[in-house]
Chain A
Amino acid sequence: GAGVSQSPSNKVTEKGKDVELRCDPISGHTALYWYRQSLGQGLEFLIYFQGNSAPDKSGLPSDRFSAERTGGSVSTLTIQRTQQEDSAVYLCASSFQTYEQYFGPGTRLTVT
């Protein structure tokens, strides 16, 4: 079956612009996670959804970051007024049992 997909795969934007990153999880997976990964580094947790609600938003770096999930499926991560330090790979994962996560290929964001 289809895995987790993310779009766009690459995004180059100018400092100060808003960006939207999309995640399509595996069908039937109730949990969805967003992570950020800088080059050669581990995963930085951003936010977790169970269904459409977000029990844990503790990882969002600032109020410029927000995320939503609709219909228990697609999720969008929005970064407003992007800064150069936002440049990273943004990974989405979904799971049925919350401890086994299936990751998408990521969106590489470059802020110039």
Chain B
Amino acid sequence: TQLLEQSPQFLSIQEGENLTVYCNSSSVFSSLQWYRQEPGEGPVLLVTVVTGGEVKKLKRLTFQFGDARKDSSLHITAAQPGDTGLYLCAGFYYTNAGKSTFGDGTTLTVKP
């Protein structure tokens, strides 16, 4: 069974601060996705990382896939209240019957 651990579980910061959330596993993944979920809505795909060591930027969000493709991080620069939500990572491996493994999520609150 492939497991993904996210940390921290909860994070509350002030607007303008930087933060990093982590997604770790002992398993290797073919790709890893990050999603953001706002209250009352379904998760929305933010990014997919595929190559070990890959870094992708989406405005103030920077995503990194570990060299061994077992872990990933999400860094947010100058957080804004609109970044508030549940951040989920999901790992995919082709032999896992087409199913992604989701972490339990990091709940981020950005206070104005």
Contact = CB atoms under 8 A, between A and B. Distances in A.
Nearest to A9: B40
A109 interface: no
Interface stretch (A11-19, A38-46, A76-84): A38-46
A105 B98 contact: no
A72 B30 CA distance: 26
A106 B42 contact: yes
Nearest to A43: B102
B60 interface: no
Interface residues of B, number: 24
Contact of B100 (A40, A91, A99, A106): A99
A40 B42 contact: no
B97 interface: yes
B43 A99 contact: no
A99 B88 contact: no
B44 interface: yes
Given A40-B86, A41-B105, 5 more contacts: A56-B98, A99-B92, A101-B33, A102-B45, A106-B41
B1 to A, nearest CB: 10
A31 interface: yes
B56 interface: no
Contact of B97 (A41, A48, A102, A106): A48
B107 interface: yes
A97 to B, nearest CB: 9
A103 B104 CA distance: 17
B105 A42 contact: yes
A4 interface: yes
B7 interface: no
B98 A104 contact: no
B98 A48 contact: yes
Contact of B42 (A31, A42, A56, A103): A103
